[in-house]
Amino acid sequence: MADRRPVWAMPDWVPTRIREALPDGWELQVVDEETDGSGDGAARVSEGLLDKVRGAEAYFGYGVPAELLRAGSSLGWVHSGAAGVGSSLSSAMLASPVLFTNSAGIHAIPMSETVLAIILFFGRGLDLAVASQHRKAWDKEPFYGADSPLRELSETTIGVVGFGGIGREVARRVLALGGHVLALKRTRPRPTDARLEPVVGGQASGERLEVLHGDAGRRRLLWESDVIVLAAPETASTRGILDAPALASMRDGAVVVNVARGRLLDEGALVAELRSGRLRGAGLDVFAREPLPPEDPLWSLPNVLITPHVSAVTRGFWRRESDLICENIRRYVRGEPLLNLVDKHAGY
């Protein structure tokens, strides 16, 4: 897990903490080879790593390539430091009885704060201010006009597609600031889904959170939301969930935010809606093709905010990641259910 990116570099205290969590007779081997934890994790492995995996009981890394899984025939548990698992769900993984956990939720706090920043960026007209600043123009008219796009969060409904770790953290922050949330999840809602612990100093959500399900819930979310946030994993059922018909059914002046995966969204259809002026704007951190090519029209649209797949960047990752690893070590040796166990066939 020696990520090549300095902000993600593993601190020296992490292996020490993991060793302290191991039961007697267990050994931790740290592989110092540089790796890449972006996206779903590493797509290749070295011979040195394969040698260490042979005979191992557990593996921690960024992604789980099929080659590694085949070499580690004694593996009982593999863990990915990435939240996405798409590149790890090889035929070898699907056929293997190995337990597979990921880091879903570990990135939820920084990603939800990025989402909140994008919501406020458009809600308070900061895109208008940036455009005026570039022209060196003291221009109040876009703020004062009858069609001024400024709104308060308490007057805003945020639609969250995907109510896992990221979606729930987005909801908590929006609710803490007085907003309303419609959350769409794949499975039928439970009564407890609508009861979120408030952020520190915040108030309980009360009646401002509704959890939706199915086609009827999806249609309602599209029609009623002022902002739609994509926070779901990419699976066969979520790919293209915000396609041209879905975008066309959104209310006028709505904003699209995508911090999930690029292929959840029809980018061409989004460009058409943004160019027409019907949609207020879009904040995009992920794209169908990355890096986003220079010729892509999204770059030149004034009502688009682009970040280069960095919504999860934080210096708090290793504290939460080591908590998860150590707790799951305790559970694994006791034969208890693991946290963040991936449903290999559901795709997350």
97 lies in the same domain as 120: no
Please report, for the domain that includes residue 71, its CATH number: 3.40.50.720
Same domain, 207 and 224: yes
Do both 13 and 130 map to the same domain? Answer: no
**What pLDDT was estimated at residue 95?**
95
Q: Is residue 346 part of a domain?
A: no
110 contacts 165 by C-beta, under 8 angstroms: no
Examine residue 343 and state whether it is found in any structural domain, yes or no.
Answer: no
Nearest to residue 40, comparing CAs of 94, 102, 83, 95? 83
CA distances from 181 to 157, 158, 283, 331 (A): 6, 5, 18, 34
Q: Find out whether 55 and 74 touch, Cβ atoms under 8 Å.
A: yes
95 and 180 housed in the same domain: no
Which positions are catalytic? 261, 290, 309
Question: Could you give the number of structural domains in the chain?
Answer: 2
pLDDT in tens, 276-334: 999 999 999 999 999 999 999 999 999 999 999 999 999 999 999 999 999 999 999 99
Question: Cβ(7)–Cβ(110) under 8 Å?
Answer: no
Report the helix count and the strand count for the chain, using DSSP H and E.
12, 12
What's the residue count for the chain? 348
Q: Which helix (H) or strand (E) holds 71?
A: helix 66-71
Say if residue 122 is in the same domain as residue 20: no
Residue 73 is which amino acid? S
pLDDT tens for each residue of 151-191: 999 999 999 999 999 999 999 999 999 999 999 998 888 77
295 and 206 inside one domain: yes
Instruction: Tell whether 345 is covered by a domain.
Output: no
Let me know whether 150 and 218 are in one domain. Answer: yes
- Considering the domain architecture, whether residues 199 and 274 belong to the same structural domain is answered as yes
- In the chain, the amino acid numbered 155 is E
**Do 229 and 128 share a structural domain?**
yes
The answer to whether residues 101 and 217 belong to one domain is: no
Are 25 and 152 found together in one domain? no
Per-residue pLDDT reduced to its tens digit, 81-116: 999 999 999 999 999 999 999 999 999 999 999 999
220 is a domain residue: yes
Dihedral Cα 181, 185, 189, 191, nearest 10 deg: -40
**pLDDT tens by residue, 191-202:** 778 778 776 545
Integer Cα distance of 191 and 194 in angstroms: 6
Residues spanned by the domain of 193: 108-306
Q: For the segment 43-85, what is each residue's pLDDT rounded down to a tens digit?
A: 678 999 999 999 999 999 999 999 999 999 999 999 999 999 9
* Shared-domain flag, residues 11 and 152: no
Structure tokens at 346: 């559901």
